[in-house]
């Protein structure tokens, strides 16, 4: 009899960990992903802001898992899960499973305003990061050629919506680009005049952090000349800019970091979802009524005591380990453990040498937090080559104030043979 | 009175050199390029074959020239040159000039078969390199999911058309990917079974080199298990593959390295063109009847004694220096020198540790030629950061047989605000 078939949807932190934790187990694993690479999302904003190259933070999933004999990796897009017949429908074909681990992650939520999406791209994939990079760099190019001062000011206004870690990191990087990277590069304006606005609906930036750290982060942003506005709602985004708290801000470049929700694939399970489109799972992360299906990572809604487990990489990794443990327990006829989330702390960086950190009972900020941020990110990157490349790019940036990836990549031609 | 206005079209090797050589001259320079980056084309095939990242071999033109006060860089596409009224029409606006340097380069020539283009992309831009990388990597992905052995063989057949340096370098890299990089990455086939074919219409590969070096290159390719066919004509390219010398070869991936021709912009000058669409220029590289207009680099047809000056980087750089010298001479009321091409030699590499070199009266091949190739390319790369990054990627590849950029980049969304 063939070993049970475990299908894992998604090669992010959660899916990869689930596969690895099943190493040597008597199962056949198929890992499906729409993309050929695992992406280190915490550094994606640095690709968007031209500090890192795309391959710096990505590695082929099949290469990562090449030595694990019980895993097969396929490139395909999971469209629908039929939990009753234990089948995953792909864009082209299907997979039948004995166990399923759904680690398909989250996508952007525009809070019912999907018409904002083209004007305010979010940051989840390498394609989106390169699109943001393109828009940021081309805004400066357009400003160089714009004779009308008002239109030039619009080219040089960058609005970031959402004051979470991604928004804070993007805004800090955009300010450094304006005030340092672009120095002396233009003849018809001073890049120092560029404006970066960070808009947050809640009362403070980094709302998930301690209040004192939020204040530190805001001060660090203001030192970089980011205009931080908290407690303001964006009511309109269009080709001209944004409307915020009743005021029009003319801006060529608007970036979205305000909300995420579970990917639509989650809804096809038929299980209850929370308001953020995430699947409400059992304490062992399985789907109610389907002990053979697990949902982990950003797509899962699970409680840690009174709080929800946050959508961060360590939670996804722990979820992957949990799913693997539960599958091994079932195979061995043992009872499954419940999922216990271990908070590894939170870190966010705000440009050169500034960061905030909250680890256990410790709160710190400034240079030390920035060093911690740097160490944690280098150590958790997948692959030796990526680590060295990222370190090199950071060292270059540190010493020269330049950014190594200031390159607008054209769209490849869309014609041609069909894509698999 | 304002200084004379020099417009340079193109930020490649030639245009960049023309701008630099006019440093401190009493002129206002505007350099126009469609892209924001200068591209080190000799290493483009390594981006296409996932060895280097795109920003490794590109640098923002305006950053390169930021310290040169008499240069302004703008991002725009030159559409047409009106030599009579001394005006360059852009996609959006125009530029009037006193002197013009046209360094707009070459594009692919499909010898009257433009319908082949979607099936056999060429390699001139970063966008094309990323498209080739995508096709090569996705061919292996498709093979992993293909149950039919004949169709799988088609996925694993790579055809390179054209046995010049680009074709030879591409074919060598594709063979290394098949026989080394992809090892153990797949479960339904052995990547060793992939076939790489190099098709050349002439009697030998590297026709511009000495015959003995051609033979060495062919032997090196065959050692890498590239199937080299010379003296064969391709009569058809379509979605299924190619027809060569009356035989059908089923291939999912076909790459074009067979021909180039001058960009269409050259024809708008109204000057005589050669068969390759290149502008036939005077001995000082100016356009007949228009001593204020120069054509340099791949777009210029100029003789060096009996031979045509080849379309290589050193010729473009020398052309840029010549145009600057001629402009300075005219400004000073001195007679212009004629262009003299100094042959710096030719190098081509065929994978790991194999290369051929022809420098002056010297001919050599193998490890020494490969070292020479490596040194010359590192030294002529623009920018310290690029040099270090490329060296790092090469070292990684040398020690691990892996390639650092095995990442398929999705197309960024095409919706959104207009592009400048």
- Distance, CA of B20 to CA of B7 (rounded, Å): 13
Distance from CA of B316 to the nearest CA of A (A): 23
Report the alpha-carbon distance of residue B394 to residue A100 in Å, rounded. Answer: 40
Q: Which of A169, A176, A200, A282 is catalytic?
A: A169
Q: Is residue B245's pLDDT more than 80?
A: yes
Contact residues, chain B, for A125 at CB < 8 Å: 410
Residue B110 touches chain A, beta carbons under 8 Å: no
Confidence band of B390 (pLDDT split at 50, 70, 90): confident
Residue A255 to chain B, least CA–CA distance (Å): 12
Minimum CA–CA partner of A30 in chain B: B187
Q: Please tell me which of the candidates A66, A134, A184 has its beta carbon nearest to residue B412.
A: A134
Scanning every residue of chain A, which has its alpha carbon at the shortest distance from the alpha carbon of B131?
A: A412
B323 vs A404, residue with greater confidence: B323
Tally of CB atoms within 10 A around A311: 18
pLDDT at B416: 40
Residue A372 tokens read as: 């911690």
A342 in contact with B, Cβ within 8 Å:
no
Alpha-carbon distance A207 to B83, whole Å?
62
Is residue B294 within 8 A of residue B281, CB to CB? The reply is yes
- B147 touching chain A per CB within 8 A: no
- What tens digit of pLDDT does each residue of B76-109 get? 999 999 999 999 999 999 999 999 999 999 999 9
CA–CA gap between residue A50 and residue A133 (Å, rounded) = 6
Of B53, B72, B239, the CB nearest to A55: B53
Minimum Cα–Cα distance from B120: chain A residue: A416
Q: Is B356 in CB contact (< 8 Å) with chain A?
A: no
- pLDDT given at position B279: 98
pLDDT, tens digit, for every residue of B364-379?
Answer: 999 999 999 999 999 8
At B417, is the pLDDT very low, low, confident or very high (cuts 50, 70, 90)?
very low
Residue of B nearest to A254 (CA): B417
pLDDT band at residue B167 under the 50/70/90 scheme: very high
Give A239's contacts in chain B (Cβ within 8 Å): 417-418
Arithmetic mean of pLDDT, B253-266: 96
Q: Which of residues 117-136 of A touch B (CB under 8 A)?
A: 117-119, 121, 125-128, 130-131, 134-135
User: d(Cα A248, Cα A274) in Å, to the nearest integer?
Assistant: 34
Contact criterion met (CB < 8 Å) for A118 and B413: yes
- Residue A411, pLDDT score: 54
| Tokens describing residue A303 | 């409680």
Chain A hits for B66, Cβ within 8 Å: 184-185
- pLDDT mean for each 10 residues of chain A (420 residues): 94 98 98 96 95 93 96 97 98 96 96 95 95 96 96 98 96 96 95 97 95 96 97 96 96 95 97 96 97 98 92 96 98 96 93 90 92 90 82 84 86 41
Q: B118-142, pLDDT tens digit by residue?
A: 999 999 999 999 999 999 999 999 9
Region for residue A284 given its phi and psi (left: phi exceeds 0; alpha: psi -120 to 50; beta: otherwise):
alpha
**From its phi and psi, is residue A354 left (phi > 0), alpha (psi between -120 and 50) or beta?**
beta
Q: How far is A131 from chain B (nearest CA, A)?
A: 6
pLDDT of res. B419: 39
| Whether A185 and B93 lie within 8 Å, measured CB to CB | no
pLDDT at B411 (0 to 100): 54
Using the beta-carbon criterion (under 8 Å), do A138 and B393 form an inter-chain contact? no
Q: Nearest-CA neighbor of A210 among A359, A369, A373, A73?
A: A359
The Cα–Cα gap between B251 and B196 comes to 10
pLDDT at B410 over 80: no
CB within 8 Å of chain B, chain A residues 54-73 = 54-56, 58-60, 62-63, 66-67, 72-73
The alpha-carbon gap from B171 to the nearest alpha carbon of chain A, in Å, equals 21
Give chain B's mean pLDDT. 93
- Cross-chain residue pair A127–B388, CB shorter than 8 Å: no
Side-by-side strand order, sheet with A78-82: A78-82, A87-90, A94-96
Six-digit token pair at A70?
A: 């019980």
Which tokens in the block code for residue B356?
A: 């051929």
Chain A: residue whose CA lies nearest to B92: A145
DSSP output for A269-338: G-S-B-TTS-EE--TTSEETTEEEEEE-GGGEE-EETTEEPPSSHHHHHHHHHHHHHHHHHHHTTPPPPP
pLDDT tens, B171-210?
999 999 999 999 999 999 999 999 999 999 999 999 999 9
- State the catalytic residues of B: 169
Tallying the residues shown for chain A, one arrives at 420
Chain A contact set for B141 (CB, 8 A) = 36, 74-75, 420
| B185, burial (CB in 10 Å: exposed 0-12, middle 13-18, buried 19+) | middle
- All residues of chain B having their beta carbon less than 8 Å from the beta carbon of residue A385 are 396, 400, 402, 404
Considering CB atoms only, which of A118, A185, A411 is closest to B415? Answer: A118
Q: Cβ separation of B385 and A408 shorter than 8 Å? A: no
| Residue closest to A394 by CA, chosen among A131, A53, A39 | A53
Judge: B392–A388 Cβ closer than 8 Å, yes or no: yes
Q: Please count the residue pairs, one from chain A and one from chain B, whose beta carbons lie less than 8 angstroms apart.
A: 193
ipTM of the complex: 0.91
CB contact under 8 A, B141 and A420: yes
Alpha carbon distance B350, B165 (integer Å): 9
- Compute the nearest-CA separation of B69 from chain A (Å): 9
Selected residues 177-196 of chain A with any CB under 8 Å from a CB in chain B: 184-188
The pLDDT assigned to B241 comes to 97
CB B137 within 8 A of CB A36: yes
**Cβ-nearest to A130 among B66, B93, B409:** B409
pLDDT at B396 (0 to 100): 84
Residues 247 to 276 of B: which have CB under 8 A from any A CB?
252
Average pLDDT value for residue range B43-66:
95
Compare CB distances from A53 to B53, B145, B413 and report the shortest one's residue.
B53
How many other CB atoms are there within 10 angstroms of residue A295's CB atom? 33
All residues of chain A having their beta carbon less than 8 Å from the beta carbon of residue B408 are 35-37
Q: Which of A385, A392, A410 sits opposite B125 (nearest CB)?
A: A410
For chain B, the first-to-last Cα distance in angstroms comes to 32
> Which residues of chain A make contact with B55, given a CB cutoff of 8 A?
53, 404-407
């Amino acid at each position: 009899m063939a070993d049970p078939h475990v299908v894992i949807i998604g090669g992010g932190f959660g899916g990869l960990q689930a596969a690895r934790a099943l190493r040597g187990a008597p199962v056949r694993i198929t890992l499906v992903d729409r993309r050929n690479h695992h992406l280190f999302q915490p550094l994606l904003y640095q690709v968007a802001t031209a500090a890192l190259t795309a391959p710096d933070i990505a590695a082929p999933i099949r290469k990562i898992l090449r030595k694990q004999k019980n895993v097969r990796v396929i490139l395909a897009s999971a469209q629908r899960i039929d939990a009753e017949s234990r089948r995953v429908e792909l864009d082209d074909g299907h997979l039948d499973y004995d166990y399923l681990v759904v680690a398909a992650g989250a996508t952007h939520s525009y809070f019912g305003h999907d018409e904002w999406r083209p004007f305010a791209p979010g940051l989840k994939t390498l394609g989106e990061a390169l699109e943001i990079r393109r828009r940021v760099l081309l805004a400066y190019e357009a400003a160089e050629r714009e004779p009308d001062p008002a239109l030039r000011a619009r080219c040089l206004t960058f609005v970031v919506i959402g004051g979470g870690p991604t928004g804070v990191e993007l805004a800090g990087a955009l300010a450094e680009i304006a005030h340092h990277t672009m120095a002396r590069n233009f003849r018809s304006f001073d890049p120092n005049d560029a404006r970066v606005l960070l808009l947050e609906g809640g009362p403070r930036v980094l709302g998930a952090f301690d209040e004192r750290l939020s204040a530190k982060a805001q001060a660090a942003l203001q030192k970089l000349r980011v205009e931080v506005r908290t407690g303001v709602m964006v009511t309109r985004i269009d080709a001209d800019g944004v409307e915020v708290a009743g005021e029009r801000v003319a801006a060529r470049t608007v970036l979205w970091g305000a909300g995420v929700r579970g990917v639509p694939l989650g809804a096809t399970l038929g299980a209850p979802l929370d308001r953020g489109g995430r699947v409400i799972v059992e304490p062992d992360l399985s789907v109610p009524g389907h002990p053979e299906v697990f949902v982990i990572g950003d797509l899962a809604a699970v409680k840690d005591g009174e709080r929800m487990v946050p959508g961060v990489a360590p939670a996804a990794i722990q979820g992957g380990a949990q799913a693997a443990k539960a599958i091994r327990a079932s195979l061995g006829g043992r009872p499954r453990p419940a999922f216990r989330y271990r908070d590894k702390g939170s870190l966010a960086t705000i440009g050169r040498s500034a960061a905030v950190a909250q680890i256990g009972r410790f709160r710190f900020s400034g240079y030390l937090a920035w060093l911690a941020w740097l160490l944690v990110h280098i150590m958790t990157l997948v692959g030796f080559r990526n680590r060295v490349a990222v370190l090199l790019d950071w060292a270059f940036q540190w010493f020269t104030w330049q950014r190594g990836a200031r390159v607008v990549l054209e769209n490849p031609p869309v014609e041609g043979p069909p894509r698999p």
